[in-house]
Every structure is written in structure tokens, then in C-alpha cells.
Structure 1
Amino acid sequence: MAADHWERLESDMTRTRHVVVVGGGNAAFCAALAAREQGAQVTLLERAPHEARGGNSRFTAGAMRTVYGGAPDLRRIMPELTDAEVARTDFGSYSRERFYDDLGRVTQYRSDPDLAERLIEGSYETLVWMHGHGVRFLPLYGRQSFEVDGKVRFWGGLTVEAWGGGPGLVDSLTSIAERAGVALRYGARATRLERHGSGWRGGGGRGGV
């Protein structure tokens, strides 16, 4: 099986600027789509079979922590929000400062400062980009909201979730990647990288590359 995977990758790599993405969760699919936007040929390796694809993303609520200034920002990624829904909901805001504080608290300030900055500063535009590719978002009413005096309010800095939760997010990204021309390889694991000429190639045992 390893030989079969590698033969297909070797065939793909006859094209220029080939990118291999390891993993099949939210981050992996976003990396694959970003590479395709830049004109690369992309192969995504998912260790699980098709029916169990998605990694940790499949088992989450699909919640997305993002900086936003209020309902107008949210409507950019959730155009289905009605005026009535906005009127009865206090979406509040989530500032960069709060995001930094929350990230520091849960990591005990052990996160890489440069990576933390990239995560936080790019959080909103990343969701805008995902929405532009077809990922649907909605308010995270079920897990992160409560009603006070007829007004729905959110807590914990989480207001946005992907349509269908984690499984819905994975299904959506899979379809988007397939339409974009990303080659998806299921049952394929990467075990190590080996230097090969001017680039890198995979190396591994049975069932992997």
C-alpha cells in the first residue's frame, strides 16, 4: 500500500510546485486550499478512511474563536442573520486584547508569541476567507449563549460555529477541496520526511509514505 501511495505522489509531482499536506482536519484543509490558491498542485494525506476523516475537527463543536467588533462583522461571515435576530441578540464584541488574555490564560503564557500574534491578528479574515470558499457559519447559540430579560447574550468569547458542528465543517471542507482540485488520499499516513534532491519526499512503512 505504501508503494501505491508513493507511485501516485510521484506521478503528481511531475508537475511543478507540488505541496503535500499531512492531516485531514480544519487546519490541513485550509492549508491545502491556500496552496491551491497560489497555483500549487496539492495532495492531502489523511490517515483515516473516508468515513472517519477529519481528525480532531470531526469531534469538536465547530466553534471558531475570532476577533470581531460587533454584529456587522459577524454578518460578513453569517449573511443569513436576520434583522430580528440581531435585534434580540447581544453579540457584543471580542477584542484582540481579550483573545490574547484568553490564550495566555489557557496556555499559562507558554504559547509562541509570534504564532499567537499570527493566530489572533488573522482570526477574523481567516473566517472571511473560509466563508468565501463556501464554509457556512452561524451563531453558537446551543453551547455559548443564555437569555436575560429577553436578550440573548454570549459568554466565553465564543460566538461563531461552523454549520453542522465539527462533522459539518469536515464535510464542507472536503467538498470544497475536491472542487478545488486537491487530491485526497485516505488511509495514508506520513511517518517521516527524507531529503530528496532539491526537495523532500515521504518515507515510511506499510500503509504510509
Structure 2
Amino acid sequence: MLRYRLLILLLFAVSLESFSQATPIYFNGNRITTDKDNATSYGVYGKLSGENLWVLKRYDLDDNLMFSGAYKDEQLVKPHGKFIFYGSIFDYNYQNFTNFKNSATDRYITQQGEYVDGLEQGKWTDYFPDGRIMGYRSFVNGKLEGETAFFNYKGRRMMVGEFKEGLKVGTWYDLKRKVKEVFENDKLISTTKLKRAEILEIE
């Protein structure tokens, strides 16, 4: 069954990605394996014609696309370029006691962002199953930098704060706990309860 799936995917990948060659690959967890009988996921990857990039589309054993992205090396160690991750609406609803629906598909984009030479770079965004933004954060050379925010499904900010070189700095607002925390180089300096007026202003 897996061999048949990979044959279909190889043909699909060649037609879509302009690969100079397309190769099946197997994973056990996040490790590449040659033992396809014990694989927990699989993928199709190949070198883009005229570029030093290897594109990977990785699937679970039920043929659901898990993520797509590109790497600078054939060993798929150094991600480079845009990555898009996918999840199941059913699983999200089960885990979060929600009721999102899409009559066309059970899959949705959970997260997307960019790597440069193996390190996260720029803005990364998480999504709810209906496409609304769940949160965002930014990276500079693999370290969190600048504002980070997370939202509830109604679009209200639930947490907001700032990173500098990967460390929490300044004032962080946690609306779920209704507290304001002050950090200095990732060290918590103080915690105070938020007033109603402050909560409304942050939301």
C-alpha cells in the first residue's frame, strides 16, 4: 500500500515541483530510516532544477500532508525557505473542545514561516482551523526578537510581550491569568494583577 502511495506521489511531485529527480524517503519519528516497514511517516523529495534546493513534502501514514519546505542539503538537515505545516481540524476540535468545520477538507494550515540557512528568520504565524491568526512571533538568526502575541478564537489578545535576542524583556501581559509581568533578560522581576481598564485596553 505504501509503495503504491509513493508511486502516485512521485508522479504528482514531478509534475508540480519541476524536480530534476524525485525520491521517496521514510521517517521513524523525525529520523530518516531505510526501514519502510517501521516508518511512521514518509515523503517525496527532490532537487529543484537549476537550484541548490531540495524540496520535501512529508505525509503521515494516512496520506495527510504534514508539511512542505525546502532544504539546502540532500540530507535534509538545513531548512531554507518557506515552510508550511498542516494539521487535522478533527484533531484540533478533539483536543480543544471546539467545533470548527470545513465541508471541503479536514486539513488546515497550522503554521508557516521561513528559514534562512537552517535558522528561523522573520515572522512566524500560527492559525486556527478557520484561518484566523492564533499567534505570531519574529526571529532574527534563529532567536526570538520583537513582539510576540497570541489570540483567542474571537481575535482578542491573550498574551503579548517582547523578546530581545531570545530572552523575554519588558512588560508581558497574560490575560488568561490576568497578570502583568516584568522581565529583564528572561528573569521575572515582578508580577501584578491587571485592572479591568488595562485588560480592555490590551484586548
Q: As a proportion of its length, which structure holds more helix? A: 1
Point out which structure has higher relative CO (alpha carbons under 8 A, 6+ apart): 1
Is TM (by shorter chain) over 0.5?
Answer: no
With the length of structure 2 as denominator, give the TM-score of the two structures. Answer: 0.24
Q: As a proportion of its length, which structure holds more strand? A: 2
